[in-house]
């Protein structure tokens, strides 16, 4: 499949007739992307430059959007002006306005721009390079070892002839996780967001991270990207369609924007559910692969509402039929006589008044009319779907730069599982969507506040209710790596409810204070509290974790699961 994807990419490159100036994609970062999206919500209408339902975004489009914001009257507070200036400096090569130069560049050539360690730009070649660093240390009570992370690497981006842009990033990391993250890794056999790992200092992990992409415009309305990265669909803190929780994967993406329509096609190769030997890495056999196709049509309905409809298919072998960018996947599945894993659904956002947004997702895994509506029996095992509902309030209670977000997620048992090998919605043993997999309900509350321009505060609170399996050979529908046709599956065809199995309840809160020392250099102080009650256990599992971090051009750690 990798050969097919590469061949397809270069055929498109050779056949393109026109090229237009464009930029690389901005790596997905919740804190960074919130700063962009809050101004659309404040304005109370969809921006006309790009749709926000499929992430990441391109730098040239973000630059054009920032220019429109600077020309309007929306930006009033000192902190908002700082944010727009920060985002503009980060994408300065696509900003029409004049952006900052560093006051005291090093040796005349280092950090001439606040965002770039070094850059070179002429009419043909554009190049930007930056160091990537994450150093943190933390304490968790009742744990012998110091919690830590040591990541270092480099990222660079640029373009050739202003027609083909590129981005690459690589780091090496040694880390010792908090206890609940370590437990997740040991149970799943993969580091969330990274996949492969090796042992480090007994209970720690070491891994190498690499991402990159090349992209260009086929025409004024059609953009192409070939990359190894993550994608995210939706407006929420979580995504029940495609999230950034699993490790990066190779993909080809076409994005077509015409009038109010935005049509995205994604074809990718995933690492299937490798056999894990529990000594530090998967077995030495070549890892099996599986193939994922996804298309989403986003439509701006009026100025305030955006609705997306999507379809995804996961296959255990490559099939040319799913490369058609316009075909209905369910029809292909029926014509081929194959029981491929097809998902359907919708997502939306509604900026119903300036400063407020409602958003949500609905994902349908399997549909049998009588069982879905309970006519044939209650809570069928084939009634598999996921639901998200959320609300954002920007400048809450008329307090500048105080932003609130409330979100509810639920996924019924056995959703995302499959009865055929290597067709579950996973990548390298981790879910493509929510960290919990399935068989759960979750409520999330987030408070973001910038009391002064350089200080970002984030309080994230969550409540999770889910049912776990009592043993490895029993399947109550949470672990989406398991086979849903296992003879020990659940309690039968009917009577399957969210939370079945071993009942778990988790309460968690994380407070993070980030101070921007200079462009994309942050000092973080965070404190997490996590309480987990497991059915039939006499005591709750209570823990806390405090850490201090230095980040340079890296996404903040997020252990909220």
**What residue spans define the domains of the chain?**
19-552
SS3 category, 179:
helix
Q: Rank 313-317, 366-370, 403-407 by mean pLDDT and report only the highest.
A: 403-407
User: What is the mean pLDDT of the segment spanning 283-293?
Assistant: 78
Do 166 and 125 touch, CB atoms closer than 8 A? no
Predicted confidence (pLDDT) at residue 333 exceeds the cutoff of 70 = no
In the chain, pLDDT over 90 holds for what percent of residues?
64
In the chain, pLDDT over 70 holds for what percent of residues?
88
Q: pLDDT (tens digit, 9 = 90+) per residue, 243-287?
A: 999 999 999 999 999 999 999 999 999 988 765 554 445 555 677
Q: Which residue has the higher pLDDT, 320 or 63?
A: 63
CB-neighbour burial class of residue 351 (10 A; exposed 0-12, middle 13-18, buried 19+): buried
- pLDDT in the model for residue 280: 43
Predicted confidence (pLDDT) at residue 2 exceeds the cutoff of 60 = no
Name 257's bridge partners.
262
**How far is Cα 258 from Cα 299, in angstroms, rounded to an integer?**
10
pLDDT band, residue 10 (cuts 50/70/90): very low
- pLDDT in the model for residue 201: 83
Q: pLDDT (tens digit, 9 = 90+) per residue, 505-560?
A: 999 999 999 999 999 999 999 999 999 999 988 788 999 999 999 999 999 988 99
User: What is the mean pLDDT of the segment spanning 303-318?
Assistant: 89
- pLDDT in the model for residue 117: 94
Q: Which residue has the higher pLDDT, 168 or 280?
A: 168
- pLDDT in the model for residue 1: 46
**How far is Cα 286 from Cα 283, in angstroms, rounded to an integer?**
8
User: What is the mean pLDDT of the segment spanning 127-144?
Assistant: 92
DSSP string for residues in 134-152: EEEEEE-TT-SSPEEEEEE
Q: Which residue has the higher pLDDT, 420 or 387?
A: 387
pLDDT band, residue 489 (cuts 50/70/90): low
Predicted confidence (pLDDT) at residue 15 exceeds the cutoff of 80 = no
- pLDDT in the model for residue 127: 94
SS3 category, 409:
strand
Predicted confidence (pLDDT) at residue 407 exceeds the cutoff of 90 = yes
Predicted confidence (pLDDT) at residue 328 exceeds the cutoff of 70 = no
With CA atoms as reference, report the closest residue to 552 among 515, 516, 518, 520: 520
Predicted confidence (pLDDT) at residue 100 exceeds the cutoff of 80 = yes
Predicted confidence (pLDDT) at residue 421 exceeds the cutoff of 90 = no
Q: List Cα–Cα distances, 86 to 41, 175, 518, 554, in angstroms.
A: 19, 30, 10, 16
Q: Which two tokens stand for residue 560?
A: 């909220």
Name 536's bridge partners.
none
- pLDDT in the model for residue 20: 55
**How far is Cα 331 from Cα 340, in angstroms, rounded to an integer?**
11
Top CATH class, 19-552: mainly beta
- pLDDT in the model for residue 461: 98
How many CB atoms are located within 10 Å of the residue 496 CB? Answer: 24
- pLDDT in the model for residue 133: 97
Q: Which residue has the higher pLDDT, 321 or 276?
A: 321
pLDDT band, residue 488 (cuts 50/70/90): low
- pLDDT in the model for residue 285: 65
Q: List Cα–Cα distances, 73 to 48, 63, 78, in angstroms.
A: 17, 18, 13
- pLDDT in the model for residue 6: 47
Q: Maximum Cα–Cα distance for the chain, whole Å? A: 76
Average pLDDT of the residues of the chain = 88
User: What is the mean pLDDT of the segment spanning 460-470?
Assistant: 96
User: What is the mean pLDDT of the segment spanning 351-374?
Assistant: 86
Predicted confidence (pLDDT) at residue 471 exceeds the cutoff of 90 = no
pLDDT band, residue 72 (cuts 50/70/90): confident
Q: In this predicted structure, which of 124-128, 338-342, 510-514 has the lowest mean pLDDT?
A: 338-342
- pLDDT in the model for residue 382: 83
Predicted confidence (pLDDT) at residue 14 exceeds the cutoff of 60 = no
Q: Which residue has the higher pLDDT, 127 or 109?
A: 127
Predicted confidence (pLDDT) at residue 13 exceeds the cutoff of 50 = no
Q: Which two tokens stand for residue 399?
A: 């307090």
- pLDDT in the model for residue 418: 83
Handedness of CA 469, 472, 477, 478 (dihedral sign): positive
Q: pLDDT (tens digit, 9 = 90+) per residue, 179-228?
A: 999 999 988 888 998 878 888 888 899 999 999 999 999 888 999 999 99
- pLDDT in the model for residue 326: 66
With CA atoms as reference, report the closest residue to 560 among 537, 533, 529: 529
């Amino acid at each position: 499949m990798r050969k097919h994807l590469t061949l397809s990419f270069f055929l498109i490159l050779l056949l393109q007739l026109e090229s237009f100036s464009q930029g690389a994609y901005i790596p997905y970062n919740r804190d960074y992307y919130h700063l962009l999206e809050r101004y659309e919500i404040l304005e109370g209408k969809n921006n006309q430059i790009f749709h926000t339902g499929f992430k990441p975004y391109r730098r040239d489009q973000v630059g054009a959007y920032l220019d429109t914001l600077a020309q309007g009257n929306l930006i009033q507070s000192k902190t908002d002006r700082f944010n727009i200036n920060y985002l503009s400096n980060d994408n300065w090569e696509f900003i029409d306005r004049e952006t900052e130069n560093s006051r005291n560049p090093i040796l005349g050539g280092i950090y001439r721009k606040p965002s770039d360690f070094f850059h070179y730009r002429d009419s043909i070649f554009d190049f930007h390079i930056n160091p990537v660093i994450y150093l943190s240390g933390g304490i968790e009570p009742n744990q012998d070892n110091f919690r830590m992370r040591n990541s270092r690497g480099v990222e660079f981006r640029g373009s050739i002839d202003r027609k083909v842009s590129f981005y690459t990033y690589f780091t090496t990391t040694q880390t010792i996780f908090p206890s609940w993250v370590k437990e997740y890794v040991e149970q799943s056999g993969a580091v969330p967001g990274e996949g492969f790992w090796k042992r480090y200092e007994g209970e720690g992990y070491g891994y190498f991270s690499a991402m990159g992409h090349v992209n260009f415009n086929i025409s004024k309305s059609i953009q192409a990207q070939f990359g190894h990265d993550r994608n995210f669909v939706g407006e929420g803190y979580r995504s029940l369609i495609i999230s950034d929780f699993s490790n990066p994967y190779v993909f080809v993406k076409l994005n077509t924007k015409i009038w109010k329509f935005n049509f995205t096609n994604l074809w990718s190769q995933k690492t299937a559910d490798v056999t894990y030997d529990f000594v530090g890495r998967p077995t030495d056999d070549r890892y099996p692969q599986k193939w994922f196709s996804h298309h989403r049509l986003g439509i701006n309905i009026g100025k305030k509402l955006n609705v997306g409809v999507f379809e995804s298919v996961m296959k255990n072998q490559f099939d040319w039929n799913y490369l058609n960018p316009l075909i209905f996947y369910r029809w292909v599945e029926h014509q081929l006589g194959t029981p491929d894993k097809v998902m359907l659904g919708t997502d939306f956002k509604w900026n119903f008044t300036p400063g407020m947004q409602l958003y949500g997702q609905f994902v349908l895994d399997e549909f049998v009319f009588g069982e879905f509506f309970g006519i044939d029996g209650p809570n069928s095992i084939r009634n598999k779907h996921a639901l998200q509902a959320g609300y954002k309030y920007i400048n809450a209670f008329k307090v500048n730069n105080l932003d609130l977000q409330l979100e509810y997620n639920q996924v019924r048992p056995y959703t995302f599982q499959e009865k055929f090998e290597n067709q579950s919605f996973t990548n390298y043993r981790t879910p493509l969507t929510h960290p919990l997999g399935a068989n759960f309900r979750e409520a999330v509350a987030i408070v973001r506040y910038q009391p002064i321009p350089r200080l970002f505060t984030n309080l994230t609170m969550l409540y999770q209710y889910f049912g776990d399996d009592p043993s490895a050979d029993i399947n109550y529908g949470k672990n989406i790596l398991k086979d849903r046709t296992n003879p020990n599956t659940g309690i039968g065809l009917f009577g399957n409810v969210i939370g079945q199995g071993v009942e778990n309840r988790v309460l968690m809160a994380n407070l993070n204070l980030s101070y921007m020392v200079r462009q994309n250099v942050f000092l973080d102080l965070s404190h997490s509290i996590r309480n987990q009650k497991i059915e039939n256990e006499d005591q709750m599992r209570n823990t806390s974790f405090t850490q201090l971090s230095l980040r340079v051009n890296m996404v903040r750690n997020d252990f909220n699961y």
